[in-house]
Structure 1
Amino acid sequence: MTTVETRTDTVVGEGVDRVDAPLKVTGAAHYPNDFNYPGMVHAALVGSTIAAGRIRSIDASDAQSAPGVLTVITHLTAPQLERGPMTLLGPSPPAPMQDDRILHYGQHIAIVVADSPEQARHAASLVRVEYEPAEALLEIEDPRAEILENPWGLDTERGDVSAGFAAADAVVDERYTTPDNTNNPLGLFTTIASWHGDSVTIHDSTQWPHNVRTSIAQIFQIPESGVRVLAPFVGGGFGAGLRVWSHTILTALAAREVKHPVKLVLTRPQMFTSVGHRPNSVQQIKIGATRSGDLVALEHHSISSVAMEDDDYEPVAFGSAVSYTCPNVLTRDRQARLNIPCPGSMRAPAEGQGSFALESAIDEVAHAIGMDPLEFRLRNYAENHPVLGLPWSSKALRECYTLGADRFGWSRRNPEIGSMRDGRWIIGYGMAGVTYPYYQVPCQARASLRRDGSAYVTSAATDIGTGTYTVMTQLAAELLGLDLGRVRFDLGDSDMPYAPQAGGSGLTGALANAVHVACGNLVQEFLDIVRDDEDSPLRGATPETVTASDGRLHRTDAPDQGEAYTDILARHGLEELSADGRSVPPDAQKIGMATAGAFGAKFVEVRLDPQLGLLRVARVVSAIDGGRILNEKTAASQINGGTVGGISQAMFEATATDAGTGRIANATFGDYLMPVNADIPDMEVIFCGTPDRATKVGTKGVGEVGLVGIAAAIGNAVYHATGRRLRSLPFTIDQLF
């Protein structure tokens, strides 16, 4: 890997506007649903109306003879398909329509293809199905459910928990529950598949084009080179686009069958059963502390739901093992197999559920010993990684606590319950300390510089609204010494260099480091060309001795000795030069540091009307250690968006499954509660800390940490206002009275 010094008038860190904003506001950004092909036809899905059992018979004759219908595919006519591959996020979901079994309500049991969307939907309603129902398992604590113990081997244990609790002066032992949540991006997920012989082009609402490519290749037993996946704009995902779902597979299957391009757009109710959801959880957490405020024991057990034949896993309790200094810790995660749609990642997976229990219980213990919740957290601050024993590659959580508390006005908090009022409103202050684990995997990028002085940088990533287009443009501009307007960054095409998923707060770090290497290698390519060039003032220069600025390279100790990229290309008869770059995740043992994810402190003010049971969030201050911030505007937007998601998790969202049928009863925007603008308070974001030491670029992801801890902070504020401890999400009026 080569490096290059960059100019000091950096464009990284500045809150520049999104480079893709003009395309979006003018309607020129093409999302999967915006693409069309000559001869394209349309598909609609038929979903099961029971949650468990078998298909006794399925009659598609009326649908097949309906106007405009090309084909109807069921398990009786579908070919045998391979299951998708093992991925970085675990096994792929099961292949669809392989037998007559029904494993959940809404399971795809037929796909209808017709000339128009309306004809396809009408014909889908004509498919007649007779079932042999079985009793469905729908409750997470149903004693009949199969329990998976420690599915991924992430349970932890250190010290002697029993002895720790025996030495404690105060022990809190409580049960916390979180419901299913559904991702609900605004854009309905869409797939278009178009075959050309044995090759297929797919437009898909995915957060991971290469995963779709690899999966489709394995499922249909064709070379990966025969699959191209396009997703330049996605329209939101929140984790729903991280897996290759059955509707994508069925669209490709239908297109191969009818020999036409096929478009399938999920309906909003189908989004609730087809593209994952945050699994519910039941958590028992027990914490012991001394009167002086030392944590002496922590035990966290969690059980969450998983589908019958799926392997999605979220270690809900695991975060408790690394959050605080505590000598005696035990965490256990289990899963219950239920007749539910396959769960999947939803913004801040695992930590979104686990932090609610942990940070609520930490608040309970602090109150039990009469200590300020902020002081209690600071007293048990983990300077080093509690499991690995290594220093963090960066950690500014203490600074987050201090600056966040100062900006919020935590010192004005009267610790007496219910003591703070404003007219009829009771005021409560609450807080939470949070982290989101470090995640980074290998990534590749390519950088090119052209004769006209412009740069073109590519990688097969996606931008789900997080600002990837913008921050990578900024980074490449800085590394190559170009104005922003001279750099174009493209993504969303599986033919581009490999990139991991936009998820887990890991893409920016992986991609930024790959772009850094690619741009450094590109500078090396230019220096290689002029190494023996007697006409070049850069003759014999190395990347360590030059600086890039103003579209040129010059010797760092002699700025007048340099030349423009365009002059080098022209003199050597080249139209452009290109270079590839690859990043790999740092190894904690090799670097002698524990790789650190983002940290943060959340401070919340709530107001309650005790007569009406109204709960309002009045203010939120988020102090975040996100490492090096590439764009303050887009990073703050991510934290604010996560905060909105946290408020929604705390006060609104719950996917309601009918206990008798397994049907999701609120699968529309009219019934599934989410906050509107009037529900969102003043939000402030403070960035703390310095660039992370584990990588050259120094970033840490901020996409998830904005949501983590908000629900707990709200619940802790409610307790401060009312003395009522809320341990079940979402917080409802009946809990407040």
Structure 2
Amino acid sequence: MDRVDGARKTAGAAGYPSDVQLPGQTHAALVQSTVAAGRIRTLETAAAEASPGVLTVMTHRNAPRLPDGPMTALGASPPAPLRDDRILHHGQHIALVVAETPEQAAAAARLVRVTYDTSDPVLGLDDPRAERMDNPWGMDADRGDPAEAVRTAEAKVSGTWTTPDNTNNPLGLFATVAVWERDALTVHDSTQWPTMGRVTLAKVFDVPESAVRVLAPYVGGAFGAGLRVWPHVILAALAARVLRRPVKLVLTRAQMFTSVGHRPSTVQHLTVASTGTGELVALDHRCTSGVAMEDDDFEPCAATSALAYACPNVITRDVQLRLNIPDPTSMRAPAVGQGNFALESALDELAHSLSTDPLELRLRNYAAEHPGNGLPWSSNALRECYEAGAERFGWSRRDPEPRSMRDGDELVGYGMAGVSYPWYAQPCKARATVNSDGSAFVRSAATDIGTGTYTVMTQVSADTLGIPPGRVRFDLGDSDMPQSPQAGGSGLTGALATAVRDACRGVLGRILDLVRDDSESPLRGCTIGDVTVGGGRMHLRGRPAEGESYADILARHGQVEVTADGASTPADAAELGMAPAGAFGAKFVEVRVDADLGVIRVPRVVSAIDGGQILNEKTARSQIIGGTVGGIGQALFEETVTDAGTGRIANATFGDYLVPVNADVTQMDVLFVGDPDRATPLGTKGVGEIGLVGIAAAVANAVHHATGTRVRSLPVTLDQLL
């Protein structure tokens, strides 16, 4: 089924936060710190305040001190803005200028003059001054005796792998429009989580949650950047309350690099050890990553290594170092994207040292049950992913010797990686209505960041109600709708689809309640188990002629509509007697490397994915392709460069921060394998992030196969190969 929102988007009829225009609307511009550490010595705003159209200039001197937002399912809220004169990172918001037009606000912001008492910033993971923060979520693993197993192992690989900061960089600039009506706040925002936005803003501004409404029917991409209520959102709402007028704030591209998070850099020390025939006996994965000075975002990059393979002796450790950097955040496949690169690269090295096929090594160590708790998986088709992906890719044609495959001036390399993405779920609610004309309206406070939520939930609603999809309207992106978790963690489809189905089945039950004692209805006295739905009507199971339409039932009983609420709750492993499984996959990559210049191309990628029940193959395939493109970016292009002396991000433009373009993305082959998952009522898993995981490792492994050069740091660049 095509995207139901596709026509609106291509026609320009989809309203993004940056499109919002309200009567009396004003415009805000940020003033940001030009140093990374220290204090503000002087802050001169008179020239800005006297500039044409300026309504206010807010700084730490005149802004009310606001509390931090609440703890969320993804961790603590970022610190509140404009608290004092301290500078914690380059690009920190130190003033907000509000004027009648965006041009006036931007011009006035440039007139604000600031001097600083600076201190030496802590910017690198190798800086001994950095404060260490141990794993706060209890996700470190300890299994068996890894040290002894490594000591006695017949084969082992040890090394250090590094990944840089990456910046989410959705195409749509993040925007916030805030307006107060008395003590009620409405915010149009680029968010992946309207429900959390409502909770956070209510706490920060000390108003009831019912007085806050967050709207995000369309978001111009996010990749995790929209999972937190950022300081600029708070500032827009604060300015709107002070001025009693709507305030619109649109970030610039450079501000996107400092204001809405990034994938944090890592240094990962990893040892894998095995028998002489390749059975893993020990895995020791220790990761250090960066976090901001007063933020508590956490990325356990080593944690998933404990669950990726059958290995009796495992230790993982994740620590963070506090740096003078902007707040990190989740970026597509958070933590797993970085950790998988190190693990799957190390396994490739181990296979090479053993003269074993990398695919065979992974098959040999397939975890038939959950390595942590010993429970059977709710589903796991990783073995089938390996086999089907290898067949589609033509892995058997690979000559195992590095630099052995060539096409003219290009060295040809084949690489692969195994992939898992952990199961995640949160409670969710939905509401469904069948109208007197036989149409349906279903809604929940979720968001669609391009993943296809509008479309898939329309399908689930239509299928459950037996109403043609064209007669079903599914709405989202409004915190006044029933509570929904974030669009992130690859968990929204399972949670929301289950809640939507529950709501729709509730409507069917209420319609049957109407005809329970209706002598005119052929459905009199029936339960849901007695009937089948289709074509906007309900009929006796196996007897399609004995039924009637929803419109007729509602008309006869004088009802304008029938509404019911639905909900879903996460599965419990103990109750299930099995381990809820996330998605699994295998990635196969071909690279071509210019033998003289070191230029790398990726002409072909095969992704074999176990995503459980695929509700819409078109949108699911699109998600895997999009994730693959992001993985190519992580592997070959993306690196947010921070100047070592000043803490300034040196490449905060699309001219300097490189992402894959059409010429970098050629043949993308996606195949889905496996059965519906037993842990969710609809059998889904979620595929939003599994597409990215493993691509970086597969590319690096293919580069080694092509050139004989082993690269342990991302991105893999041509200078490393010359």
TM over 0.5: yes
1:425 aligns with 2:428: no
The residue number in structure 2 matching 1:712 is: 697
Pick the aligned partner of 2:146 from 156, 161, 183: 161
Query: Is the counterpart of residue 571 in structure 1 residue 551 in structure 2?
Result: no
1:9 match: none
Name the structure 1 match of 2:503: 518
Q: Distance in 1 between matches of 2:154 and 2:355?
A: 12
- CA distance in 2 between counterparts of 1:543 and 1:453 reads 18
1:676-733 deviation per Cα after TM superposition (whole angstroms, max 9, x unaligned): 1001120000000111101111111100000000000001111111111110000111
Q: 5+ residue gaps in structure 1? A: 1-15
2:314 corresponds to 1:290: no
From 299, 302, 306, the equivalent of 1:317 is 302
Match of 2:568 in 1: 583
Q: Which residue of 2 aligns with 1:736?
A: 721
Deviations 1:77-131 (A, max 9, x none): 0101010000010000000001111000000000000010010001111111111
Write out per-residue CA displacement over residues 519-569 of structure 1, whole angstroms, 9 at most, x where no aligned residue. 111111111111111111111111112111111111113222211111110
Q: CA deviation at 1:233?
A: 0.3
Task: Tell me how far apart the structure 1 counterparts of residues 184 and 721 of structure 2 sit (CA, whole Å).
Answer: 58
Q: Which has the larger displacement, 664-673 or 534-543?
A: 534-543
**C-alpha distance in 2 between matches for 1:402 and 1:707:** 20
**Structure 1 segments of 4+ aligned residues over 6 angstroms from their partners:** none
**Deviation of the 1:425 alpha carbon:** 1.2
1:695 aligns with 2:695: no
Q: Which residue of 1 aligns with 2:159?
A: 174
> Contact conserved, 1:209 with 1:494, CA < 8 A, in 2?
yes
1:209 aligns with 2:188: no
Confirm or deny that 1:661 pairs with 2:651: no
Give me the whole-angstrom Cα distance separating, in 2, the residues matched to 1:428 and 1:284.
Answer: 26
Matched, 1:674 2:653: no
Of 608, 617, 637, 1:632 maps to 617
d(CA) in 1 for partners of 2:171, 2:646: 27
**Residue 55 of structure 2: aligned partner:** 70
Give the equivalent residue in structure 2 for 1:118: 103
1:13-412, aligned counterparts within 5 Å? 16-412=1-397
Cross-structure match for 1:11: none
Q: Partners in 2 of 1:588 and 1:425 — Cα distance?
A: 50
CA distance in 1, matches of 2:10, 2:279: 53
Q: CA-to-partner distance for each residue in 1:562-619, whole Å, 9 max, x for gaps?
A: 1111111011000110000000000011001101001000000111111011111110
The unaligned stretches of length 5 or more in structure 2 are none
Q: Which amino acid aligns with 1:709?
A: G
1:612 aligned residue: 597
* Alpha-carbon distance, 1:151 to partner: 2.1
2: CA distance, partners of 1:246 / 1:492? 21
Per-residue deviation, 1:516:
1.0
Q: Distance in 2 between matches of 1:629 and 1:173?
A: 39
1:202-241 deviation line (CA, Å, top 9, x unaligned)? 1000011111111110000011111111100011000000
Per-residue CA shift, 1:466-509, capped at 9, x if unaligned?
Answer: 00000000111111111110101000011100011101111111
What is aligned with 2:547?
562
Structure-2 residue corresponding to 1:527? 512
Amino acid of the structure 2 residue aligned with 1:162: A
Per-residue deviation at 1:167?
Answer: 2.7
Query: Does the Cα contact within 8 Å between 1:167 and 1:296 map onto a contact in 2?
Result: no
Counterparts of 2:44 and 2:150 in 1: how far apart (Å)? Answer: 62
Measured against aligned partners, the alpha-carbon deviations of 1:142-193 in whole angstroms (never above 9, x if no partner) come to 1110001122211001001122112311110000000000000011100000
Give the SS at the match of 2:653. Answer: coil
Higher relative contact order (CA 8 A, sep 6+): 1
1:324-351 CA distances to partner (integer Å, 9 max, x unpaired)? 0000000000000000000001000000
1:643 equivalent in alignment to 2:631: no
Partner SS, residue 720 of structure 1: helix
Match of 2:291, SS? Answer: strand
Q: TM-score, normalised by structure 2?
A: 0.99
CA distance in 2 between partners of 1:513 and 1:471 (Å): 12
| Alpha carbons 1:320, 1:358 under 8 Å: kept | yes
Q: Which residue of 2 aligns with 1:7?
A: none
The number of aligned residues is 722
Distance across 2 between alignment mates of 1:311 and 1:639: 30
TM-score (norm 1): 0.97
Quick check: 1:489 aligned with 2:511? no
